Structure 1
Amino acid sequence: MHKRVRSILAAFILLYSAAAELASRNSSYPPHVGKRMQGGLHLPLSRRLIPKRITLGADTGVAGLGDFFDVTYSVLIDIGGTSLPVVLDTGSSDLWVLSNVCQGTCSSADTALYPPNTFHGIGLDAALVYGDSKTGTYARGMIGYDAVSLAGLTLQDQYFAAINDTNTSVAQTRCSGIFGLGFPLNSVIWTDMFLNQQQISRPRNLRGDVVSRIAAMRKRWFDKSVLGISSFRHIDPPSYQSMPQLKRQVTASSAIVSSFRVSGPFIPRLVSLGGLASPMFAIALQRDTIEIGGNEGMLSIGGLPSGVQNESLTWVPVRQYTLQQEGLTQDASLEAYPVAWEIPVDDVFLDGVKLPRSQLCSSNISLSALIDTGNSLIRGPPDVISYIQNMLGGPHFACSSPHTLAFQIGGRMFPVDPRDLVNQVRSGDAQVCGANLAQTDVPVLGGGGYLYSWSLGDPFLKGVLAAFYYGSFTGLSQDPPRIGFLSTVPSDAGQRLEDAVSAASAEQYDLPGTKMLPPSSLSSPLSTGIGGIAMASSFPGSAHGISGSNQAGQVNSARERMQVGPAATLWCSFFTLAMWTFSRMFA
C-alpha cells in the first residue's frame, strides 16, 4: 500500500512539475504539449511513438553565416553540446553531420566531428544522394535523435543522420555536414521513418537493438511509389507504373502532416509545433570573392531581419505538386503539397535581351526555378546555357566587361550582380573570367522528377534577401507557401567589377577570395543597405595576408584572407576545383 501511495505521489509531482514549467513560459504553446485554457492547463493524453520532450528557446532567432570562397555557406548548430558548422541548403531537407567514426574524406584536421555520446539511434540507416543524374555524391549513416539548437531555438529530440561514410567534400570546406531547409516531403530521413512506422507501432528500444536495420544503399523506388515523389534531386528511378493504385491510396495527409511534428526536419518541425512567431526563415548571403562585402551573411528564423519590411519584398507562390505531377494531395480538399522551394519565373534576360525558351523542355511545363543555397552556380537548360555562353563570347571572356543575367520573377527584374556572375579562371591573370553557369537536367512530364529547369544558387542569392515562407501544412489553400525577394544589387555593380579587376591587375594580384567560419552569433551591423538589409564589412584597399585561427574543437568567427600574390597558382587551382566539385555536389 505504501509503495502504491509513493508511486501515485511521485506521478503527481512529475505532472505538477511539467504543468508548472509550461505555465512559466511566455511563448505560445505547441498544440501537443499543452494549451492554457479557462480553468487551468489542460494536457491532452496521447500515445506517442517516440520521446516528445521539446524546448522552444524563443519564437525567433538570428545566426551569422560562414562563407568558403562563396562556394558554400554555413551556419553554426549545436548537437548534444557540440558546436558544428553545417552547409546551409535550401535544395534539400535533411540534417546530417560527420560522426567521429567517419573515415576517408571525414578525416580533416580542421573539421569538427560529432561525438555520438548522446546520440540515440533508432536502427534505421540513411542513404542520402545529392546532385543530378550525372553525379553520384552520397552520405551514409545512422538515423537517430539528439538535442539540436540553432540561433537560440532548441528541439530536444530532433532526428538527423550521423554519417560514417561519404564521398562529399564538406570537410574540405571546414564544415561538418549539411543542414537541409526544404519541405518534409523531400526528406530522406522523414520518408524512412514514415514508411517504417508500422514496424515500430509499439514502444521499442530506440537504440536500435530491436528495429531491423535497413541496408544503407537500399533502393528507394518503393518510397517513390508510396509517396509519389522522389527524395532525391533530379534522380529519376525506373518505372513504377506497376503500383499506381498504391501510390494514389496514400493521400491520408492527416497522418503525414502529423508526423512532421515528430520526425520532420528541424525548421518544418518548429513550424508544425507552432514554435515560431511566423512559419518562415530568411537568408542573406555575403560576398567573399571579387569585391568583398555586400550583404551581411545571416539566417533569420521566425521572421524577417530587423529593419526589413514585409511589403518591400516581391512574393511569389511555391509550386505545389498534384497527383498528376507525382505529388501528394489532402483527402478532403485535394490540395497539392509543396516538395521543394520551386517558384515560377516569367522570363530570363542577358544584358536586357530576353533569352529564348529551351527547346529541350515540353511547352506544357511552365518555366520555374529552384532556389538553392546549396548550389554554388546557376544551372539551367543545356541549350539556353550554351546560348548564353555564346553571347558572352565563349567559355572565357574579359572580367572587366560586366554582364547582367536577370530573372523576371513576379513581374519584377532580379539581376545577378555582375561581380557574382564571374570567376577568375587563369592563374595570375585577373583579366580572364568564366561564368558561374552550368547545365542541368531537363524536366520531363511524367518522368517522376522535378519540373524546374533552372536552379538559382549562390550567385543569384548574393544579390537578394530571400524569405522562405512555409505557410500552413494543414491549410495550404488558406496559407500557401511562398518566397519573397528583395534585390540588393547596386545600380553601379558593373562599375564596381571593373574597378576591382583594375585594382587587382595593377598590383599584379589575382582577384581576392576569403573564407569565413560561421560566428556563434550575429554582431550588430555597422550599416544597412537597400531595403534596410545589414551590410557586411569589406576589406579596404588591397591588403593581403592571413588572420584568424581555428583551435581544436572550437569554431570561431575569424575571417581568413587568402594570400593571393605568391600563392596565386594554388588559389586559382583550388578555387576552380572547389567550384566544379560543389556544383556537382549540390546541383
Structure 2
Amino acid sequence: MHKRARFILAAFSLLSSTAAELQLPSKDSGSSQGTHGRLHLPMTRKLIPKRLTLSANTGVAGLGDFFDVTYSVLITIGGTSLPVVLDTGSADLWVLSNICQGTCASANTNTNTNTALYAPSTFHDTGVDATLVYGDSKTGTYARGVIGYDAVSLAGLTLQDQYFAAINDTNTSVVQTRCSGILGLGFPFDSVIWTDMFLSQRQVSRRRSFHPMRRNYANRWFDKSILGIPSSRYTDRSMPQQKRQTMTTSAIISSFGVSGPFIARLVSLGGLALPMFVIALQRDTIEIGGNEGMLSIGGLPPGVQNESLTWVPVRKYTLQQEGLTQDDSPEVPVDPPAQAYPIAWEIPVDDVFLDGMKLPRSQLSSSNISLSALIDTGNSLIRGPPDVISYIQDMLGGPRFACSLPHTLAFQIGGRMFPVDPRDLINQVRSGNTQVCGANLAQTDVPVLGGGGYLYSWSLGDPFLKGVLAAFYYGSFTGPSQDPPRIGFLSTVPSDAGIRLEEAVSAASAEQYDLPG
C-alpha cells in the first residue's frame, strides 16, 4: 500500500457567532448559562494525533486519520491527552485505562502502537459498572469498565465532573487504529452511561438485562420502564406509582446537564453558540484531497451557508416505539401533547440508487417501517439490509470486480441525490497480480416492527461521509417539537469522480502500487 502521511497544523479561534448570522434557530434561552463561541478544527492527515499547547482563546490542535477508516480527535482527561474515535453512532465517552487487561493490553503490545492509556489518578469512581455494545448481531464488539468522572477538555472546551467509562476489557479495534477510546456524539437518551447514572443517582435497582451484551444492536430494546416511564412492553410495573411520578420527563431532561454525554451536556448547559457540530471526513488515500477534513462545534464552518445544505429531520421515537414522550404527571404541563424525543442520528431516506437505477426495498422487514438510515462516523462501511446488499453485489458482477470500473451508489435524501464517491465505494482485494476490488458494503440486521428498537435499515458510515459535509443539529432537548433535531448535508463529490477513479487505478498500476485495502 502506498500511503503518504502528513502532519498539518491548523490554528483555530473561538469565534463569536449568532443564530441570525447562520440563519438557524437560536437555542432555548431558558437553558443558557452563558454563550461561548464557535470552534473550528481542520483535520490533519496524520496517523497519530499530537497534543499542542492551547491558550484560553486560540491555539492549534490536530485530528487523526487512520487509513481513511477511523477518524479521531484529541481530548484531555485529567491531564492525560488521548486520541478518541469520533462516533455519531453512539453516545458514550470511554477510554482505555492503564489497568486494561486481556485483549486490549495484548493488542497494544503486539502492534507496538504505544497507545496512550488513561491513568485514573484523578478519576472519581462511582462504583457503577458499564457494558457498552457496538456493531450488530454479526459483530458483537464490546467495552466494559467502571463509570466515573473527571475534567474533560476538547480543544479548550472543558467540562468539570464529566462522566465517562474507564475501560478495563474490550474486543474493539480502537488500539489497532492507534486510538485510546471512543467519543460518542449521539443523544443522551441513547447513552448507557447516562442511563446507568440516572438510575444510580436515584437509587433505582438496575435491570441488568437492559444494557449488557445485547448482540443484536440494531434491534436493541429501549425499555425505559426502568426509568419510571410508562412502557407499552409492560403492563405490570414493579416500581411503585409514587416513585414513578418523581422520575418525570422534566427530571430526565434536566439530568442531561449533569451526567449527559460531553457535547450533549455542553448543549444542555448552553455552552455553545448553537446546539450543533459539523463533520467532513477527508480522504488520504487513492487521491489526496476530497474534503478538507474538519470538525466544527457550535456552528457551521467558515464559508458554509445554511441555505446550501439539505436539511432533514431526525427520527423521534414515540411511546409506542419504546421511546420517550412528554410525561403525563399533573405537575408538568404537556405542551404540545405526546411530544416525542430523538434517540439516534437517524434520518429518512427517499430511495437508494445504483448507477442511476432505483433499488428495490428490502423484503425482510415490514413495509410499514419507513426507510431510514443512521449517520455513523464510527462505521467504516455502508451497512444495509441483507437482501438489498446481495442485490447490489449481483449488479456489480459479484463480490469481486475490476477496480477500474466506477460504480455510483447514491442515497436520495430530502429530495436530493447524495452519491458515494466511487473511490470510496471500493477497496482492493489481493488476487495475484490482478487489481481486484470489492465494495465497502456489509449486511446488517433489519428493523422489526414492534420490536422496541432502532428502525433504520441502513447505516451510512465513512464511505458515504467522505463525500458530504454533515451538520448535526441537536435542537432543543426541552422542546423538540418547537426546535426539532435535524441533519444538514452538502455533497462534495465531484462530477468526474468516476474518471478520477480510473486515473488513480491506472497510476497505481503504472507505479506498481496497490490501492488502499
Kindly report which structure 2 residues correspond to 1:423-434, keeping only aligned pairs within 5 A, or say none. 423-426=427-430, 429=433, 431-434=435-438
What is the match of residue 287 of structure 2? Answer: 291
What is the letter of the counterpart of residue 80 of structure 2?
A: T
What is the match of residue 69 of structure 1? Answer: 67
Kindly report which structure 2 residues correspond to 1:392-471, keeping only aligned pairs within 5 A, or say none. 392-426=396-430, 429=433, 431-471=435-475
Distance 1:145 1:420, change over 3 A: same
Query: 2 CA distance for matches of 1:158 and 1:238?
Result: 24
What is the letter of the counterpart of residue 318 of structure 2?
A: T
> What secondary structure sits across from 1:221 in the alignment?
coil
Give, in angstroms, the shift of residue 59 of structure 1. Answer: 2.9
What is the match of residue 530 of structure 1? Answer: none
What is the match of residue 10 of structure 2? Answer: none
What is the match of residue 146 of structure 1? Answer: 150
Instruction: Show CA shifts across 1:62-104 (max 9, x none).
Output: 2333111122111111111111100110000000000111023
Query: 2 CA distance for matches of 1:495 and 1:367?
Result: 31
What is the letter of the counterpart of residue 340 of structure 1?
A: A
Distance 1:323 1:231, change over 3 A: farther
Distance 1:30 1:157, change over 3 A: farther
Give, in angstroms, the shift of residue 310 of structure 1. Answer: 0.8
What is the match of residue 234 of structure 1? Answer: 218
Query: 2 CA distance for matches of 1:161 and 1:232?
Result: 22
What is the match of residue 310 of structure 2? Answer: 314
What is the match of residue 254 of structure 1? Answer: 250
Kindly report which structure 2 residues correspond to 1:182-261, keeping only aligned pairs within 5 A, or say none. 182-199=186-203, 219-221=208-210, 233-236=217-220, 243-244=234-235, 246=237, 252-261=248-257
8 Å CA contact 1:430–1:510 kept in 2: the answer is no
Tell me which of 77, 86, 101 is aligned to 1:79.
77
Query: 2 CA distance for matches of 1:494 and 1:135?
Result: 32
Give, in angstroms, the shift of residue 237 of structure 1. Answer: 5.9
Distance 1:362 1:197, change over 3 A: same
What is the letter of the counterpart of residue 218 of structure 2?
A: H
Tell me which of 50, 60, 70 is aligned to 2:38.
60
Q: Does 1:278 align with 2:277?
A: no
Distance 1:244 1:175, change over 3 A: farther
Distance 1:330 1:172, change over 3 A: same
Kindly report which structure 2 residues correspond to 1:268-417, keeping only aligned pairs within 5 A, or say none. 268-331=264-327, 332=334, 333-417=337-421
Instruction: Show CA shifts across 1:263-304 (max 9, x none).
Output: 000011000000100000000001122223211221110011
What is the letter of the counterpart of residue 355 of structure 1?
A: L
Query: 2 CA distance for matches of 1:371 and 1:238?
Result: 19
Give, in angstroms, the shift of residue 168 of structure 1. Answer: 1.1
Query: 1 CA distance for matches of 2:503 and 2:412?
Result: 28
Instruction: Show CA shifts across 1:139-182 (max 9, x none).
Output: 11110111111122110111000001111111111000000000
8 Å CA contact 1:161–1:189 kept in 2: the answer is yes
**TM-score for both structures, normalised by structure 2:** 0.81
Query: 2 CA distance for matches of 1:193 and 1:175?
Result: 26
Query: 2 CA distance for matches of 1:482 and 1:252?
Result: 25
Distance 1:503 1:470, change over 3 A: same
Query: 2 CA distance for matches of 1:106 and 1:119?
Result: 20
**TM-score for both structures, normalised by structure 1:** 0.72
Q: Does 1:120 align with 2:116?
A: no
What is the letter of the counterpart of residue 348 of structure 1?
A: V
What is the letter of the counterpart of residue 91 of structure 2?
A: S
What is the letter of the counterpart of residue 276 of structure 2?
A: M
Query: 2 CA distance for matches of 1:184 and 1:32?
Result: 16
What is the letter of the counterpart of residue 102 of structure 2?
A: G
Query: 2 CA distance for matches of 1:127 and 1:363?
Result: 33
8 Å CA contact 1:59–1:153 kept in 2: the answer is no
What is the letter of the counterpart of residue 210 of structure 2?
A: W
What is the match of residue 517 of structure 1? Answer: none
What is the match of residue 92 of structure 1? Answer: 90
Tell me which of 494, 501, 505 is aligned to 1:501.
505
Query: 2 CA distance for matches of 1:394 and 1:256?
Result: 49
> What secondary structure sits across from 1:505 in the alignment?
helix
Instruction: Show CA shifts across 1:33-68 (max 9, x none).
Output: 968xxxxxxxxxxxxxxxxxxxx8x43222333111
Query: 2 CA distance for matches of 1:245 and 1:130?
Result: 31
Instruction: Show CA shifts across 1:398-442 (max 9, x none).
Output: 110100000000000000000000000116646210000011101
Distance 1:491 1:346, change over 3 A: same
What is the letter of the counterpart of residue 127 of structure 1?
A: T
What is the match of residue 331 of structure 2? Answer: none
What is the letter of the counterpart of residue 233 of structure 1?
A: Y
What is the letter of the counterpart of residue 502 of structure 1?
A: S
8 Å CA contact 2:40–2:296 kept in 1: the answer is yes
What is the letter of the counterpart of residue 220 of structure 1?
A: S
Give, in angstroms, the shift of residue 136 of structure 1. Answer: 2.2
Distance 1:232 1:479, change over 3 A: farther
What is the match of residue 20 of structure 1? Answer: none
8 Å CA contact 2:33–2:269 kept in 1: the answer is no
Instruction: Show CA shifts across 1:338-382 (max 9, x none).
Output: 000000000000000000111111110000000000111001111
| Runs of 5+ consecutive residues of structure 2 not aligned to the other structure | 1-15, 19-26, 44-62, 224-230, 328-333
8 Å CA contact 2:420–2:464 kept in 1: the answer is yes
8 Å CA contact 1:377–1:456 kept in 2: the answer is yes
Query: 2 CA distance for matches of 1:376 and 1:360?
Result: 24
Give, in angstroms, the shift of residue 222 of structure 1. Answer: 8.4
Query: 2 CA distance for matches of 1:68 and 1:76?
Result: 13
8 Å CA contact 1:186–1:339 kept in 2: the answer is yes
Distance 1:143 1:430, change over 3 A: farther
8 Å CA contact 1:145–1:160 kept in 2: the answer is yes
Q: What percentage of residue pairs aligned between the two structures are identical?
A: 79
What is the letter of the counterpart of residue 299 of structure 2?
A: G
> What secondary structure sits across from 2:471 in the alignment?
strand
> What secondary structure sits across from 1:269 in the alignment?
helix
Tell me which of 476, 479, 483 is aligned to 2:480.
476
8 Å CA contact 2:130–2:192 kept in 1: the answer is yes
